[in-house]
Amino acid sequence: MARAGKRSPYKKRKIDPPGMGPGISAADLLDDYFCAYNSARLKEAAHLLVKKVLEPDVTVGVSVSGAMTPAGLGAGLLIPLVKAGFIDYIVSTGANLYHDIHFGIGYDLFESSPFVDDVDLRKKKLIRIYDIVFDQDVLLDSDAYVRALCRGPEFQKEMGTTELHWLLGKYVAATEEKLKLKERSLLAACYRYDVPVFTPAPGDGTIGMNVAAAALTGSKLKLDMNRDIFESAAYVYDAKASGGKSAVLILGGGTPKNYILQTEPFIQEILYVDERGHDYFIQLTDARPDTGGLSGATPAEAVTWGKVDPEQLPDAIVSYCDSTIAFPLLTAYMLSRHKPRPVKRLYRKRDEVVYKLMHAGSLQAKRMIGVEKRMEGKR
């Protein structure tokens, strides 16, 4: 007879998965077979998402780094989550948004192999992203498409990257409809559902380069990064000040991770507005903190910066796993285990929430000036 273990807070559930059979769903795979190590962390992340993060009063931001849209994660995963109301705003590298445009204007990317002759690819005018290939004309035509838009009347002003991406999404959505394409572009979906999309480093990407190039032919478009900093923090501040909570789901690291997390230090330590940090933190990463490669490091370290509420550390999870493996599983889990939420359409509220944060910051202006004066003697 098997001996029963004593009850203990350290004992969550007996490891006793049933023998696997055919036809198992992705959600059941996580629930029943991800019992230890990083698979267990991924299951914990899935449970946190459906039990807490996807509640109606939680504002969910997702950061995306690495070449995710060329790998199909835009149309395959992010768009369904946007439509379900599970993503309220996005912080992405410019590269992901640029490559997303290819799909929305009718071009194709193809599965290939990383073990190919790159010199031969160059001769054949094929571009490679690890095991993805596509024609060079995809880039050239996408560049021309973006530059032409940047010379349009709606673009002739200074704006933040959310407005730039909303306008780009507007025209990509129209191109999708003209070509009778069905929901291929994330930017188009974010336009349709008013999901703000930020790029922290627009100059480090092809959209930014084309904005610069368009200036040579008369475009007056300029990007206002001050606006972006206020707007990204304002969505977080509004969520918390309105009695709700803030969650971040981080795919990879890099600038998007830091940017989505710096919203809280900006509120607390730069503007001196009382806040405590994000309530829920989930990251998928294959980087390590001890080499400096895990940008922003761990949730516990992020507490010291004010990025994560220290009382919410049990709701901060890192799964050390490739996003192209883990994120499809999490997406399947969310869509099968949680009903859709009302879409928040934060883009429509952007001026309102920015004003609210700037007003809160202006009330603390004396504190800011006082600190600055104390530092004058050190100049």
DSSP string, 93-121: -HHHHHHHHHHHTT---EE--SSS-HHHH
Contact at 8 Å (CB) between 251 and 284? yes
Instruction: Give the integer Cα–Cα distance in Å for 52 and 49.
Output: 6
* pLDDT per residue as tens digits for the range 65-92: 999 999 999 999 999 999 999 999 999 9
Contact at 8 Å (CB) between 59 and 245? yes
Helix (H) or strand (E) holding 354, with range, is helix 350-362
pLDDT (0 to 100) of residue 306? 85
CATH superfamily of 37-370: Deoxyhypusine synthase (3.40.910.10)
Domain boundaries, the chain: 37-370
Sign of CA dihedral 266, 311, 236, 357: negative
From first to last of the 379 residues of the chain, give the pLDDT tens digit.
455 556 788 888 899 999 999 999 999 999 999 999 999 999 999 999 999 999 999 999 999 999 999 999 999 999 999 999 999 999 999 999 999 999 999 999 999 999 999 999 999 999 999 999 999 999 999 999 999 999 999 999 999 999 999 999 999 999 999 999 999 999 999 999 999 999 999 999 999 999 999 999 999 999 999 999 999 999 999 999 999 999 999 999 889 999 999 999 999 999 999 999 999 999 999 888 877 777 556 888 888 888 888 888 888 999 999 999 999 999 999 999 999 999 999 999 999 999 999 999 998 877 878 878 778 776 6
pLDDT (0 to 100) of residue 92? 98
Catalytic residue among 43, 257, 307, 344: 307
Contact at 8 Å (CB) between 225 and 259? no
Instruction: Give the integer Cα–Cα distance in Å for 300 and 309.
Output: 10
Instruction: Give the integer Cα–Cα distance in Å for 340 and 23.
Output: 25
pLDDT (0 to 100) of residue 227? 97
Contact at 8 Å (CB) between 193 and 345? yes
Mapped to the 3 state alphabet, what secondary structure does 178-235 carry?
HHCCCCCCHHHHHHHCCCCEECCCCCCCHHHHHHHHHHHHCCCCEECHHHHHHHHHHH
Does residue 125 have an active-site annotation? Answer: no
